[in-house]
Amino acid sequence: MGKVVVVTSGKGGVGKTTSAAALGAALAQRKEKTVVVDFDVGLRNLDLVMGAERRVVYDLVNVIQGEAKLAQALIRDKRLETLYLLPASQTRDKDNLTAEGVERVIGALKKTFDWVICDSPAGIERGATLAMRHADVAVVVTNPEVSSVRDSDRIIGLIDAKTAKAERGERMDRHLLLTRYNPNRAERGDMLSVEDVLEILSIPLLGIVPESMDVLRASNIGMPVTLADSQSAPAQAYLQAARRLAGEDVPISIPGEKRSLLGKLFGWRAA
Amino acid sequence: MNILGFFGKKASAPTARDRLQVLLAHERASVGDSDLVTRLREEILAVIAKHVKVDGEQVKVTMDRGDQVSTLEIDVEIPLKARVGAT
Amino acid sequence: MALALSPELPLGDWLHQLDDLAARSAGFFLRRPVVLDIEGLQISRPELKEFIDELSRRNVRVIGIEGARPSLLGADMPPAMSGGRATQDIEEPIAEAAAAAPDSGGSEPAPAGQPEPQPVRPVPSMIIDQPVRSGQSVIFPEGDITIIASVASGAEVVAGGSIHVYGALRGRAMAGSMGNASARIFCSKLEAELLAIDGLYKTAEDIEPHLRGRAVHLWLDGDAIKTETLN
């Protein structure tokens, strides 16, 4: 049985889709069979970020409505044979996502994939709650900025209360992925520090992704950043995060950072 | 970021613009599900289903939407005993 | 009670003022328990019903109505209250007092509507060992709430008794919400959006700057909220 991971944040524009694609690719690069599922019905973007936008035939809603088989809707990545995409529908209404339909699709994906990465839409409405509903693990994407931190706190509360795991009385593992982190601004005190965010949200840290042109460039050319340039700082951050997600004990660092700053990082709890 | 690295890489914005132009041209042309490639796909599959009873798992449909040419590829496995109607 | 509202006629204008206030202090009434005091207000039953609906559309949750003629209230409305307590609850402390003195001869009849006297129980308290997250409410009218974690900005803790937060208090804390002036609030890091004891409140702007981020203890002295740093 594969593991289901929801990538969520509450707030829009913090890097959920970029992170879902990068983590999915990073796990697939470990030769583990991975599918990334876009839950943002009506505003799909994962296909663009993963460079599959010309190849979408069927989508998640087609599968839920029984108009296509799951195998027909899955798009295999051209560069990585262990990486798949299940796109969202661009034309359908999000009411077509039914709770039973989502449960069925996730259940089927778990049987054939090692990892099922659910890319949640922004907000706390239906799409977001369905994306997290059947997850085993949550990755909460947060920018070091007050509104993002507060929305993440709200989402963590929902993860603790409104998921299938919570209803069974279990606790879902939640990890913090800090994105758009700018070490210079943090140094000057113009940005919430890693410690601040960790103290407020009190969940373990999965990784710190520095703000970088490489992220923009990767999405321009339609490649997950870990594939576009695996040596770049954000790619290293996502590759590290994927290893932690897979249970490896990797010390937290900010890739691309000066060595001297590393001293500060001791004492953070890795995920 | 490394300055040499920056100049060493090809600018990515033109690629982004080209991809978006192709994508949006297709999306604007298809109100609902009515663009040519999608309609062909539906009708070809309907014709196949009229003559052969096929399981969804045995039909592979791939599309590639290009700026000049789009391709539609339908790959159907037809089992020996799958014919419908004819005896 | 946490907050009493005394509307004035015409209600339309009054609602307008309320909107104005709410706009200036975003989310102030959001999901706060509110008692409506309509003493002396010339208003018909349908008007009152419509007014309560208007308030609930503004996320103002009316938990009781004070000063209303019985004919004004219906089953579809919040219950009548007096002095900030639900009127049907007034018997309760008497019943408990009787139960607390079992040797007083036993000749006292149990008050009507209380078929079984409650056994003596310690003051109830609730302990929470996880962070209270933005958008969550912890409401415990029966007694004290102790939280061994932080209360996030946008979260709310409402206790009938005292509130103890062993962590940062960034949201709202309302102690003594059922009318208890001896309730107190303790926290190890004060960054609250709102503090209230027995209906008297302090907003973030009213909190003295030197108390921010400190371990603080708050109590009520008459009509004033007193503060003192701990340690």
Q: What is the maximum span of chain A, computed from C-alpha positions, in angstroms?
A: 57
Selection from A219-233, C31-45, C89-103 with the highest mean pLDDT: A219-233
C154, A154: Cβ pair inside 8 Å?
yes
**Residue B33 pLDDT:** 54
Q: What is the DSSP letter of A57?
A: -
Question: Mind telling me how many Å the CA of B87 is from chain A's nearest CA?
Answer: 29
| CATH class of residue range C125-229 | mainly beta
pLDDT single digits (tens) C99-153: 444 444 444 444 444 455 556 667 789 999 999 999 999 999 999 999 999 999 9
What is the sign of the dihedral through the CA atoms of A220, A223, A228 and A233? positive
Pair type for strands A3-8 and C200-203: unpaired
Q: Provide the percentage of residues in chain A whose pLDDT is more than 70.
A: 94
Query: pTM surpassing 0.80?
Result: no
Mean pLDDT of B25-31: 74
Mean pLDDT of A130-155: 96
User: CB of A157 within 8 A of CB of A203?
Assistant: no
ipTM metric: 0.76
Question: Mind telling me how many Å the CA of A191 is from chain B's nearest CA?
Answer: 20
Question: Mind telling me how many Å the CA of B32 is from chain A's nearest CA?
Answer: 6
CA C135/CA C96 separation, integer angstroms:
35
Burial (CB count within 10 angstroms: exposed 0-12, middle 13-18, buried 19+), residue A265: middle
Looking at the predicted structure, is the pLDDT value of residue A238 above 80? yes
Which segment of A189-203, B8-22, C91-105 scores lowest on mean pLDDT? Answer: C91-105
Give C215's contacts (C-beta < 8 A, 6+ positions apart).
Answer: C187, C188, C189, C190, C229, C230, C231
Looking at the predicted structure, is the pLDDT value of residue C25 above 70? no
Say yes or no: C137 contacts chain A, CB-CB below 8 A.
no
Question: Mind telling me how many Å the CA of A141 is from chain C's nearest CA?
Answer: 16
A156, C149: Cβ pair inside 8 Å?
no
**Residue C169 pLDDT:** 97
C152, A160: Cβ pair inside 8 Å?
no
Mean pLDDT of C11-21: 80
Q: Extract the tokens encoding A153.
A: 């706190």
A150, C154: Cβ pair inside 8 Å?
yes
**Residue C134 pLDDT:** 94
Backbone phi and psi for residue B54, each to the nearest 5 degrees, phi listed first: -115, 145
Looking at the predicted structure, is the pLDDT value of residue A259 above 90? no
User: Domain locations in chain C?
Assistant: 3-83, 125-229
B12, A214: Cβ pair inside 8 Å?
no
**Residue A71 pLDDT:** 92
CA nearest neighbour of C83 among C198, C221, C162, C225: C198
User: CB of A214 within 8 A of CB of A233?
Assistant: yes
**Residue B4 pLDDT:** 42
B16, A221: Cβ pair inside 8 Å?
yes
Looking at the predicted structure, is the pLDDT value of residue C216 above 60? yes
Buried b (16+ CB within 10 A) or exposed e, C30-49: eebbbbbbbeebebeeeebe
A157, C153: Cβ pair inside 8 Å?
no
C131, A151: Cβ pair inside 8 Å?
no
User: CB of B63 within 8 A of CB of A56?
Assistant: yes
One-letter-per-residue 3-state SS of A54-74: CCCCCCHHHHHCCCCCHHHHC
- β-bridge partners, C82: C85
- The 10 Å Cβ neighbour count of residue C175 is 28
Q: Quick check: do B and C touch, 3+ CB pairs under 8 A?
A: no
List residues of B whose CB lies inside 8 A of any A CB. 1, 6, 9, 12-13, 15-16, 19, 22-23, 27, 30, 32-33, 41, 56-57, 59-66
Q: Which residue has the higher pLDDT, C103 or A186?
A: A186
A157, C150: Cβ pair inside 8 Å?
no
- β-bridge partners, A3: A115
A58 contacts in chain B (CB < 8 Å): 61
Determine the topology of domain C3-83 in CATH.
Answer: Alpha-Beta Plaits (3.30.70)
Question: Mind telling me how many Å the CA of A198 is from chain C's nearest CA?
Answer: 12
Scanning every residue of chain A, which has its alpha carbon at the shortest distance from the alpha carbon of C132?
Answer: A157
Which segment of A7-21, A89-103, A199-213 scores lowest on mean pLDDT? Answer: A89-103
- pLDDT classification of A210: cutoffs 50, 70, 90: very high
Looking at the predicted structure, is the pLDDT value of residue A268 above 90? no
Q: Provide the percentage of residues in chain B whose pLDDT is more than 90.
A: 0
Which segment of A233-237, A249-253, C84-88 scores lowest on mean pLDDT? Answer: C84-88
Helices vs. strands in chain C: H and E counts, helices first: 3, 16
The whole-chain average pLDDT of chain C stands at 78
Report the C-alpha dihedral over residues A152, A154, A156, A160, rounded to 10 degrees. Answer: -170
Mean pLDDT of A206-227: 95
Scanning every residue of chain A, which has its alpha carbon at the shortest distance from the alpha carbon of C136?
Answer: A157
- pLDDT classification of B24: cutoffs 50, 70, 90: confident
